[in-house]
Amino acid sequence: MIPKLSLLVLLGSLAAAQTSTLKEVENIYPQAQKFYIDVHEHPELSGQETETASKLAAGMRRAGYEVTEHVGKTGVVALLKNGDGPTVMLRTELDGLPVEEKTGLSYASKARMKDDAGHDVPVMHACGHDLHMAALLGAADIMAQTKNTWHGTLMLVGQPAEESIGGAEAMLKDGLFTRFPKPDAAVALHVSNEYPAGIVAITPGVYNTNSDSVRVTIYGKGGHGAMPQATIDPIVIAARTILSLQTIASREVRPGEMAVVTVGYIRAGTKNNIIPDEADMGLTVRTRKAEVRRQVLESITRITKAEAVAAGAPREPLVEHYEGTDLVYNNPALAERLRAPLEAALGKSNVVTAEPITPSEDFSFFTEQGVPGFYFSLGGADPQRYAEVRAGGTRLPSNHSPLFAPDLEPALKTGIEAEVAVLRNLLEGTSADLKKYHD
């Protein structure tokens, strides 16, 4: 039993921890907001985040971190050593998206860039990675100013090319965990309009989905549109294939298992009276279980090839798996451990438990190196607007929308507070304490 007096002392110190974090956030907030607006106005595409990376690096250097740039092309690594103790990694993404911003904000992006195919495209931070960078920098400032509240090594990672899946792997290949200390735990967050600003959501266990990208090339025999008897029409084969692929999730996978097969594009032909030689399709596949993932990918290949055989195609179709990432997994015990400091910092009602989501992430590349991970969600919606649209049965714009715009001040402040609370909790004790969260 806890004596009354020490209970009071304990409650008092919890309240003090809460207000002191808030005050710390207030002190550095103007700087974090300024950084946010700058990167929001000047977004860069995946793999081309040179200005963004150098701004982030400059902010980290100013805060007293030892900074290395160009890790995995445009990635940034910053270390702050503060005596013995665990090494904890906090990660932000750097990249924007080829989306034309339509938020009408005074600091809306007007940026344009050349994408990897050489096309001139509009660019926007439509996924909120600008907010992740500003939160990380704010947390970095506070941690550097309050070294008496933690010990160990804080490792900040600015990861490029998350949207194109590849940045995490590129950083690892460039020695992220060999040239720099391998962390005992890795932390990241993602903002969305799924929750009002002020709230964070924890998902113990599976957080999202495995993602696989598949490209299919169907070969036919081209000819005159008025003489189909002399051709083998790859467009008709593609059309049949698309419909057959829909039976994977509905007929082949056990009901209740998660599986999505989407054909996101189909390209074929040049003119209405020409039957082309080839048809190309691009698929995205989402699953949760490894065996379902294997089953779905095998079924895609089987169905695609069989439809071509049925049509008498001259060549077997090409089925290329060109990109993939594993789901993000939150060690359940670690997620439960971190609930307490988050509740202490933000208030109990502002920390909720959430179901897994379907969009994917390459954060799993880090955790699959044997690093326990904690990836949580940050509310971004204006609380009043959120309540209004929910009452009306609609939703606010999602990430990747030209209208995506977090309610900046409360979302950013909560992001900073949450990160500081999580980092302080992990950066106490020893690295051996965090070993038990290895899966």
**Positions that interact with Zn ion (CB under 5 A):** 127
CB of 393 to Zn ion, least distance (A): 26
Q: Which of 87, 290, 287, 327 is nearest to 205 (CA)?
A: 327
Cα–Cα–Cα angle for 413, 15, 3, nearest 5°?
155
Q: 305 and 295 in contact (C-beta within 8 Å)? A: no
Closest Cα partner for 396 from 412, 408, 410, 385? 385
Closer by beta carbon to Zn ion, 152 or else 167: 167
**Which residue in this structure is represented by tokens 């924890």?**
202
Q: In the complex with Zn ion, which residue's Cβ is closer, 345 or 357?
A: 357
Find the residue with minimal CB distance to Zn ion: 127
In the bound state with Zn ion, the residue whose beta carbon lies nearer, of 127 and 335, is 127
Minimum CB–partner distance for residue 167 and Zn ion (Å): 11
Regarding beta strands 318-325 and 210-219, do their DSSP bridges make them parallel or antiparallel, or are they unpaired? Answer: antiparallel
Question: Least distance in Å: CB of 127 to Zn ion?
Answer: 3
> Phi-psi bin for 152: left (phi > 0), alpha (psi -120 to 50), beta?
left
Q: Of the two residues 127 and 411, which places its CB atom closer to Zn ion in the complex? A: 127
Tell the smallest beta-carbon distance from residue 207 to Zn ion (Å). 13
Tokens of 232: 């083998």
CB of 168 to Zn ion, least distance (A): 12
CB 344, min distance to Zn ion, A: 27
The answer to whether 217 touches 318, Cβ cutoff 8 Å, is yes
Whichever of 90 and 127 has its CB closer to Zn ion, that residue is: 127
The CA distance from 124 to 405, in Å, is 11
Q: How far is the CB of 399 from Zn ion (least distance, A)?
A: 5
**Cβ nearer to Zn ion, comparing 163 with 407:** 163
Judged by CB, which is closer to Zn ion: 72, or 167?
167
Least separation in angstroms between residue 40's CB and Zn ion is 14
Nearer to Zn ion by C-beta: 80 or 126? 126
The alpha carbon torsion through 228, 234, 235, 238 (nearest 10 deg) reads: 140
